[in-house]
Amino acid sequence: MNATRLIIGAMLAVAPLLAAADEPATVMVVGTYHMANPGRDFHNVEAVDVLAPEKQAELERIVEALAKFEPTLVAVEWPEEIVNERYAKYLRGELEPARNEVVQLGFRLAKRVGLDRVHGIDADGNFPYGPVQAWAEKHGGAGELAAMSDAIGKYVAKVTELQRESIAKALRYMNAPETVARDQGFYMSFLTYGKGKEQPGADLLEAWAGRNYRICAQLLQAIRPGDRAIVIYGAGHAYYLQRCARDAPNVRLVEANDYLPAD
């Protein structure tokens, strides 16, 4: 074993002891649908107008419930520079009404608990679905791929129905552990698309996981010992962000549904 390996080994051995000396950070991941109907996904929730008075009242109740977690940090799915600019305007009352969940949940919550900044932790990434589709069509898997797509469509339709009734009900459904696990199962199914050196499904998952690890990195770089962080992000990222909190040293995960209201 050379000197470099000895040094790295010593660092890895000592790191958990150093982390344990600090008060752990606590992280809650709130997976959500896109409230502004941006249409960036394969299947998109047909979001109601969250600026309507009854939906504003629902959002107030949700934020009031999340505020009981007493967050010291709020992180959202926008790049840092955009968040810095728009949250400052939001605090001054200069930001035009926006339907986006970043504003409606993230900014509203941060202002409610008196935070002077919100952390934008989004990261760019690819989702190379085309090669998967091409491989499936070439190798007789188009029907299975279509069935996967239909299943996701039914899930999105259920979220659409629930949020019309109650945003809180939709969020609780999306953040239920069984829903998060099922979503990850959908992504893992892509690993069956490929053979030998041609692995478009694995390539897709590698790109997707890479984006999520970059998001996770920015989250871990933002939190400090003792922080109580709420991460408000598209529900498709929930599995990786929860895993980030579970696996990171000296970080503890709490379930969103322990705080989200029932309706």
Check: CB of residue 74 under 8 Å from CB of residue 119. Answer: yes
Asked if the model's pLDDT at residue 3 lies above 80, the reply is: no
Asked if the model's pLDDT at residue 70 lies above 90, the reply is: yes
Domain membership flag for residue 16: no
Pick the closest to residue 40 from 77, 94, 81 (CA basis): 77
Domain membership flag for residue 227: yes
pLDDT 10s digits, 110-168? 999 999 999 999 999 999 999 999 999 999 999 999 999 999 999 999 999 999 999 99
Check: CB of residue 47 under 8 Å from CB of residue 78. Answer: no
Domain membership flag for residue 147: yes
Query: Which residues lie closer than 8 Å to 240 by C-beta, 6 or more apart?
Result: 209, 212, 213, 215, 216
pTM for the model stands at 0.89
Q: How confident is the model at residue 37 (pLDDT cuts 50, 70, 90)?
A: confident
Domain membership flag for residue 1: no
Q: Which two tokens stand for residue 34?
A: 């896109």
Lowest mean pLDDT among 14-28, 56-70, 131-145: 14-28
C-alpha 111/C-alpha 259 separation (Å) is 18
Domain membership flag for residue 192: yes
Domain membership flag for residue 60: yes
pLDDT 10s digits, 229-255? 999 999 999 999 999 999 999 999 999
- Percent of the chain at pLDDT > 70 equals 90
Rg (CA), the chain: 20
Q: Are strands 251-254 and 25-32 parallel, antiparallel or unpaired?
A: parallel
Domain membership flag for residue 11: no
Asked if the model's pLDDT at residue 260 lies above 70, the reply is: yes
Domain membership flag for residue 4: no
Q: How many folded domains does the chain comprise?
A: 1
Pick the closest to residue 57 from 158, 167, 171, 161 (CA basis): 167
Q: How confident is the model at residue 175 (pLDDT cuts 50, 70, 90)?
A: very high
Q: 164 lies in which domain range?
A: 23-258
